[in-house]
Amino acid sequence: MARKKPLVVVTRKLPDMVETRMRELFETRLSHEDRPLTQAELVEAVRTADVLVPTVTDRIDAGVLSQAGPNLRLIANFGNGVDNIDVDTATARGITVTNTPGVLTEDTADMTMALILAVPRRIAQGIKVIEREEWHGWSPTWMLGHRIWGKRLGIIGMGRIGQAVARRALAFGMSIHYHNRRRLPAEIEEKHEATWWESLDQMLARMDVISIHCPHTPGTYHLLSARRLKLLKKEAYVVNTARGEVLDENALARMLEAGELAGAGLDVFEHEPAVNPKLVKSDRVVLLPHMGSATIEGRIDMGEKVIINIKTFMDGHRPPDRVLPSML
């Protein structure tokens, strides 16, 4: 007699080829509407599923997990970050959590580099001028920005994505600096010509561009606080493609409005999908709707990782991308 397939509940619409493969391998309940599940729908999902496949828009907290059914054994997150999941509570309840690391590295690094270029060169402002039909011809002193060649880039979080950004920025002639909890091996520093700063405060005060690449955890909430933002030079730029909660958005908006910072490029926000109105109105900011990892190739790779994690787990083995509380 064939073994019963596990019931896999997917909370959002995924690429067709990913959903089709899931249907072939598992008893899969797909989301036909591309919207976040309501709290009641999320609770129903954890009550019935053997495997839950959530995304960053699903808040799997202790309250939701307390209502999980006895069959829920795996939460296979469709995404790299797991700050949307209470991993401690899940682990305590015997539920394994996995994610999709690595597959978003190059896409997110590309978008980060795009913002590093766009903000100092005032690209978004230039687009608006064309759209509003306000361009009256070239002028030697109009729409002047700043070159990035020769500028110092301070990377907060020199993991996979941080290193991929460093590789790109180095090719654009930037000087690479970084802050990590732990210093990288000498060969990696040499590869990126990178300077390590044990003190984040000291690094911030000396950089021309700051790029955030650390996860959102209780320890990194508002890591770039109002106090730390005030350490930056008036001519500095801030780029965030990691998590909105790492940056004190209100403090950033106030400083930009007061001319205390040169500009910012943000792909993530503290209260998504809400965006601070002061940031929306500012000419010093380039804002994107959390699209740093939004490539067809990246989404398919994420789906394949999810499938491998589910299949490996259901075959009785440790999934390759298991997340433990100590990893956060």
- pLDDT tens digit string along 130-166? 999 999 999 999 999 999 999 999 999 999 999 999 9
Is 44 among the catalytic positions?
no
Q: Is the pLDDT of residue 128 over 60?
A: yes
pLDDT category, 4, cuts 50, 70, 90?
confident
**Do residues 179 and 89 share a domain?**
no
Q: What is the pLDDT of residue 1?
A: 41
Is 24 among the catalytic positions?
no
**Do residues 119 and 180 share a domain?**
yes
**Do residues 127 and 208 share a domain?**
yes
Q: Is the pLDDT of residue 328 over 50?
A: no
**Do residues 77 and 114 share a domain?**
no
Is 272 among the catalytic positions?
yes
Residue 2 within any structural domain of the chain: no
Q: Which of 21, 168, 228, 243 is catalytic?
A: 243
**Do residues 46 and 193 share a domain?**
no
Residue 137 within any structural domain of the chain: yes
- pLDDT cut 90: percent of the chain above it: 92
Single residue among 271, 287, 303 that ends a domain in this structure:
287
Q: Is the pLDDT of residue 50 over 90?
A: yes
pLDDT category, 3, cuts 50, 70, 90?
low
**Do residues 47 and 173 share a domain?**
no
**Do residues 65 and 79 share a domain?**
yes
Average pLDDT value for the chain: 95
| Number of domains the chain is built from | 2
**Do residues 111 and 58 share a domain?**
no
pLDDT tens for 61-80 read 999 999 999 999 999 999 98
Q: What is the pLDDT of residue 33?
A: 86
Residue 1 within any structural domain of the chain: no
Q: Is the pLDDT of residue 30 over 50?
A: yes
Q: Which of 27, 41, 44, 272 is catalytic?
A: 272
Tell me the pTM.
0.89
pLDDT category, 228, cuts 50, 70, 90?
very high
**Do residues 166 and 217 share a domain?**
yes
**Do residues 165 and 190 share a domain?**
yes
Q: Is the pLDDT of residue 324 over 50?
A: yes
Q: Which domain holds residue 78?
A: 7-102+295-327
**Do residues 197 and 214 share a domain?**
yes
**Do residues 94 and 125 share a domain?**
no
- For residue 50, give the CATH number of its domain: 3.40.50.720
What's the chain look like in SS3? CCCCCCEEEECCCCCHHHHHHHHHHCEEECCCCCCCCCHHHHHHHHHHCCEEECCCCCCECHHHHCCCCCCCCEEECCCCCCCCECHHHHHHCCCEEECCCCCCHHHHHHHHHHHHHHCCCCHHHHHHHHHCCCCCCCCCCCCCCCCCCCCEEEEECCCHHHHHHHHHHHHCCCEEEEECCCCCCHHHHHHHCEEECCCHHHHHCCCCEEEECCCCCCCCCCCECHHHHCCCCCCCEEEECCCHHHECHHHHHHHHHCCCCCEEEECCCCECCECCHHHHHCCCEEECCCCCCCCHHHHHHHHHHHHHHHHHHHCCCCCCCEECHHHC
Q: Which of 189, 290, 304, 322 is catalytic?
A: 290
